[in-house]
Structure 1
Amino acid sequence: MTSAQQLRLPETVLSAMWSALPSVAERTVAGVVAEVPSYADAFSGRMGRTIGKAVQQALEGFLKEATDPHPGQGASSIGPALDGAYTLGRGEARSGRSTDVLLAAYRVGARIAWRDLSAIAVSHGLAGDALALFAELVFAYIDQLSAFSVSGHADELALTGLARQRNREQLASQLLNKAEAEHLIMAAERADWSPPHTLTAVALPVSQERGVVGMLDPRTLRAADDSHDPAGNAVAILLVPDAGGPGRSRLFESLAGRCAVIGPTRPWMDVASSVHRVMRAVELNLAAQMTVDTDDCLTDLVLRADPDALDDLRAKVLAPLADLRPTAKDKLIETLRAWLLHHGRRDDVAATLFVHPQTVRYRIGQLRELYGDKLEDPTTVLQLTLALGAAPTG
């Protein structure tokens, strides 16, 4: 701030300014309310008293600073005003107003205060060079106050944001651990989190998370986890509110072009089952190239729930083919799978395999020779269907 030693205001001017200070403060507050819509309801209750006090302190601090005859002691004269500006910034952050709104209020306040104070100076015949220096001091002082308020605003956001983030991580952890309902409700209150009707788990690479979160419901939780896909890449688990029904298509749009897995929609307290399913899909590498809905992969998920058991079942039901050459064995397995899926309709099997129906007839004849009457046994047919319904796990 420009040295106050250079400004010498006559005692009559100073006296008039001090006398007018309360009314100047009132007009400043009224001007901010009128010109900055976000402050229309702010000057009531505790916050209103804090703002009014900050305006009064600011004007008093300025007059003391601008007329302090002792060099090097200016900081002590405006200390309370700067503290008030810092406190104001923190309060504004808690009230949800941005720094843009806060700085707009400062600009309006500075204009009104300067208009009133300069009118007093001019009415008492203050010289032009002194008036110019006075203006310089006013706006330098406002810059100081603004900087302290912005700093307070940032500190409050950092403090409350960190606490909220920590509480939401704890809430997500309790959801995954299936905590009791009363504990989940208390955790949601601590996290300042309004529970949705449902939550849907989404797994995606950590590298793609930032581009997605901004498009999702602000209540989306992130599960603190060290999950990885089969390639060793870190995976983020998001719990997205109310993404069922019509919301599911919007969720797909948000995840377009990403290797994400979308789990089933569950009541918010039961989201752990959705997380379990998406992680199982990740383990099976079902979303290696695109966004996948686990609702479309239920067969794979069921059949591959126990990979060792599936391998054993495959070995058991394919034992009649064990002595064949690998090429012949693969062709018969492929034919048997298509025959089961198409319920023995030869033309459909041929179309699926891109072979002639006579080729299908020949291969089915080979299979009947190898399996005998077992191909007519419902239990064997069921076992073959299960064994061949998913890709080999080994």
Structure 2
Amino acid sequence: MVAALRTRDEYGPWRNIPAAAARALRPRIDAIAAEMVETIRTEVNGYRVAPNSDVGRDVFTAVRRAVAQFVALIDDPVGPSPEDIEFFRHLGRAEYRNGRDLDDLQAAYRIGARVAFRRYAQIAQAAALPMTTVLTISDAVLVHIDHLANESAKGYAEAKARGVDDPAQRRRALAERLVRRNPPETGPSTADLAARAHWPLPQRVACLVVDDPGGGRFRFADDVLQVERNGELTAIVPEAGVRAACSLLTGARAAVGPVLPIAETWLSRYCARLALRALPRSARVIDADEHLLDLFLLAGEPLGVLLARRGVDRLADLGAGKAARLEETFHALLTSWGRSAPEIATELGIHPQTARYRLRQLDDVFGERLADPDFRFEAETVLRLRALRREP
């Protein structure tokens, strides 16, 4: 149950902040939240994660909600909604579920308050609001951060009271730790979490990732850890059980990452998720280990576009039809061992004289660069990436 809302008097500072402050702050909520998140990521070890990771997205969502709540209280200073109270209690429960103490979350609150007040004050001054308003905003920030931290502490205590003897919770906490690239330096170690979960740490594991798992319809072996987020299931499977686990996923949209040491569980999951997003849909579980080069290229696709601009795209000046034929020939040239016209003609199914003509055209376009190993590597990379993008 969510506790009753606090009294109006406890939110007194907001009643003395003019509505003009809310109008000045509201269009800048996302920018303020982004700056707060970046500072938190820099200064709090437990949150030094990529912005597009699960934890990174969760941090931004929480920070943005806190900023939006602060602005909303200026318009209606009667305290947070039950939904907001539940949200920040959930953050505390999540810290417990992930096997962490509250130190990092409390540090994030303090750092966020510092950045928030600095930005709020700058915006208020730019809006020509009086200094008394800036001082009142300072008081409100302190009250706000104290309330948020208290709600999270209550959520943490609730989860701890309920979860001491919850084996499923201990396994989820271990799974969350294993799939993080940079696990927190504070709190229990991976070995401690594994001991609490009664899960013997294997030497090597692979991650299975299932898109839209359908409410747990897969029944894995007892030694498989599972964590589900945002409609995606990750199963951490000891090496000996990988084949059996994959056999359960017939008909599912799924991928399996490489078998790697336990400390690189995150990397196996990263490969599986990338394969699931980037490779054509398959009738079977996609084995990311069979496509590592393709995944490497697809992960760096924006850079491949830049490489194309300074090399292969020069063919586009010749017109679409001719460019396509020469690109095909160029790829055959780069992947042919002897690089002779007859060999290329055989590969493409064209007359050797046609192959010689196309090779002369390539020489006209690229000249001496055709003999440059770096250019040839760049060009082959671009052409392979384009071929991958055409496959689906």
Query: Structure 1 length normalisation: TM-score?
Result: 0.51
Which residue matches 1:204? Answer: 210
Which residue matches 1:220? Answer: 224
Equivalent of residue 185 in structure 1, options 167, 182, 191 = 191
- Identity over the aligned pairs, expressed in percent? 25
Equivalent of residue 331 in structure 1, options 304, 325, 328 = 325
Cα offset, 1:203, TM superposition: 1.3
Which residue matches 2:260? Answer: 266
SS of 1:323 mapped into structure 2: helix
SS of 1:193 mapped into structure 2: coil
Instruction: Give the unaligned 5+ runs of structure 2.
Output: 1-161
Q: Are positions 1:385 and 2:380 aligned together?
A: yes
Note closer, same or farther for the CA distance 1:348–1:314 as it changes in structure 2 (3 Å cut): same
Query: What are the equivalent positions in structure 2 for 1:75-90 lying under 5 Å apart?
Result: none
Note closer, same or farther for the CA distance 1:337–1:288 as it changes in structure 2 (3 Å cut): same
The answer to whether the 8 Å contact 1:264/1:294 transfers is yes
SS of 2:189 mapped into structure 1: helix
Q: Deviations over 1:352-371 (max 9, x none)?
A: 43333332222112111111
Distance across 1 between alignment mates of 2:308 and 2:330: 13
The answer to whether the 8 Å contact 1:198/1:268 transfers is yes
Cα offset, 1:293, TM superposition: 1.3
Instruction: Give the unaligned 5+ runs of structure 1.
Output: 1-158, 227-233
The answer to whether the 8 Å contact 2:253/2:276 transfers is no
SS of 1:219 mapped into structure 2: coil
Equivalent of residue 360 in structure 2, options 354, 365, 369 = 365
Distance across 1 between alignment mates of 2:373 and 2:302: 23
Cα offset, 1:386, TM superposition: 1.7
Q: Deviations over 1:317-365 (max 9, x none)?
A: 1243131211211111111112211232444433443333332222112
Q: Are positions 1:240 and 2:240 aligned together?
A: no
Distance across 2 between alignment mates of 1:306 and 1:252: 28
Note closer, same or farther for the CA distance 1:219–1:162 as it changes in structure 2 (3 Å cut): farther
Note closer, same or farther for the CA distance 1:330–1:161 as it changes in structure 2 (3 Å cut): farther
AA of the residue aligned to 1:237? T
Which residue matches 2:271? Answer: 277
SS of 1:304 mapped into structure 2: helix
SS of 1:222 mapped into structure 2: strand
Cα offset, 1:379, TM superposition: 2.0
Distance across 1 between alignment mates of 2:248 and 2:354: 47
Query: Structure 2 length normalisation: TM-score?
Result: 0.51
The answer to whether the 8 Å contact 1:208/1:258 transfers is no
Distance across 2 between alignment mates of 1:240 and 1:270: 13
SS of 1:391 mapped into structure 2: helix
Distance across 2 between alignment mates of 1:208 and 1:354: 47
Which residue matches 2:173? Answer: 170
CA RMSD of the aligned region, Å? 3.0
Distance across 1 between alignment mates of 2:254 and 2:168: 23
Distance across 2 between alignment mates of 1:200 and 1:260: 13
AA of the residue aligned to 2:300? D
SS of 1:389 mapped into structure 2: helix
Which residue matches 2:61? Answer: none
Q: Deviations over 1:84-126 (max 9, x none)?
A: xxxxxxxxxxxxxxxxxxxxxxxxxxxxxxxxxxxxxxxxxxx
SS of 2:253 mapped into structure 1: coil
Distance across 2 between alignment mates of 1:257 and 1:377: 46
Query: What are the equivalent positions in structure 2 for 1:86-125 lying under 5 Å apart?
Result: none
Note closer, same or farther for the CA distance 1:366–1:277 as it changes in structure 2 (3 Å cut): same
Note closer, same or farther for the CA distance 1:254–1:293 as it changes in structure 2 (3 Å cut): same
Query: What are the equivalent positions in structure 2 for 1:299-378 lying under 5 Å apart?
Result: 299-343=293-337, 344-378=339-373
AA of the residue aligned to 1:203? V
The answer to whether the 8 Å contact 1:175/1:272 transfers is yes
Distance across 2 between alignment mates of 1:306 and 1:382: 15
Deviates more, 1:293-302 or 1:178-187: 178-187
The answer to whether the 8 Å contact 2:301/2:385 transfers is no
Q: Deviations over 1:124-153 (max 9, x none)?
A: xxxxxxxxxxxxxxxxxxxxxxxxxxxxxx
Cα offset, 1:289, TM superposition: 4.5
AA of the residue aligned to 2:168? Q
Deviates more, 1:311-320 or 1:179-188: 179-188
SS of 2:363 mapped into structure 1: helix
The answer to whether the 8 Å contact 2:206/2:260 transfers is yes
AA of the residue aligned to 2:358? R
Cα offset, 1:271, TM superposition: 0.6
The answer to whether the 8 Å contact 2:207/2:237 transfers is yes
Is the radius of gyration larger for structure 1 or structure 2? 1
Note closer, same or farther for the CA distance 1:182–1:351 as it changes in structure 2 (3 Å cut): farther
SS of 2:257 mapped into structure 1: strand
Q: Are positions 1:297 and 2:303 aligned together?
A: no
Cα offset, 1:250, TM superposition: 4.2
SS of 2:353 mapped into structure 1: helix
Note closer, same or farther for the CA distance 1:258–1:372 as it changes in structure 2 (3 Å cut): same
The answer to whether the 8 Å contact 2:276/2:286 transfers is no
The answer to whether the 8 Å contact 1:281/1:287 transfers is no
Distance across 1 between alignment mates of 2:164 and 2:321: 62
AA of the residue aligned to 1:225? R
Distance across 1 between alignment mates of 2:325 and 2:192: 60
